[in-house]
Structure 1
């Protein structure tokens, strides 16, 4: 395992780790109960507050579309990088489902994303695994993106205001550039 993380994988600001050269894992300890975190993963109205909108029929094989509007995630949103669209869409499909413990989905040309939830007292450990990321450039974007989106999720669940989204992405991309092997 290539360490990209601070010593505590459950720290709210914990960085991702490469568990294989093309696989990112990020863990976050979030306020529970597990059903609340599950709702933030699966309900469009809650998910759009930290990641992307999109109605999701909870059935293996069910297709759905994520719709990102990252400018709407935080106020202010920060400075969107040149060339980044105001809206982005991605067709996905549910590949594994075990409510409220596990959700796995397809993700473009990568090996997909798995979210696993584990209750720990009054908290919930969210483990996100993004597999078969094709190259370092995409891995930098995926790492910074998931890290920042999970920062927004943690802040929303705690009732806090997250840092401006695009500023966080820029900061995190630079940090991951120094952490991910060339």
Structure 2
């Protein structure tokens, strides 16, 4: 199972509709980068889908969250077994920065910075205006990064859906009290 959450693990609202999450991950930076851009490795923590590493390239993301952890936990009734979304690479600077479009929001930027033998991942998801979507996105990114961290550390992640549900409740309290 994953370690207990600390305050530093939670995302914050950098602006009213902008989520920012920072997490120290085991390096090296090239390994973490590969988990962002390689569809097979990305499938293990977020969503499958090929991605050309060039600006303007389409990225089809395919979520099958029931497959992320064993056991997967209890999937909420409103969540489908599979979800697909086509994004576009907006900016790319291997192995430091990847920005992609994200539905009707302002997009997601992943920034990686070396910190000794660890890598600081900074995720910024901009213009998530709807509060219900913001809660789902905040819990989702946090839960997916928890799985990524576990994969990189070689540990077993917590059941994804149970973690997501608890995090959604946590973020509701944090953001909207």
Fold shared, TM-score > 0.5 on shorter chain: yes
Q: 1:90 pairs with 63, 85, 94, which one?
A: 85
Matched with 2:139 is 144
- Inter-partner Cα distance in structure 2 for 1:131 and 1:95: 13
Out of 6, 11, 14, the position equivalent to 1:16 is 11
Q: Tell me the residue number matched to 2:74.
A: 79
1:122 paired residue number? 117
Cα deviation for residue 83 of structure 1 reads: 2.3
Structure 1: segments with no counterpart, 5+ residues: 9-13
Q: Is 2:157 aligned against 1:162?
A: yes
Match of residue 53, structure 1, among 43, 48, 51: 48
Match of residue 38, structure 1, among 33, 38, 43:
33
Moved over 3 A (4+): none
The equivalent position to 1:67 in structure 2, one of 54, 62, 67, is 62
What is the TM-score with the length of structure 2 in the denominator? 0.95
Q: Secondary structure at the match of 2:176?
A: coil
Q: CA deviation at 1:134?
A: 1.7
Q: Which has the higher contact order (CA 8 A, sep 6+)?
A: 2
- In the TM superposition, residue 180 of structure 1 has moved relative to its aligned partner by 0.6
| Cα RMSD (Å) | 1.0
Aligned position for 1:26? 21
CA distance, structure 2, for counterparts of residue 60 and residue 77 of structure 1: 34
Partner of 1:135: 130
TM-score normalized by the length of structure 1: 0.93
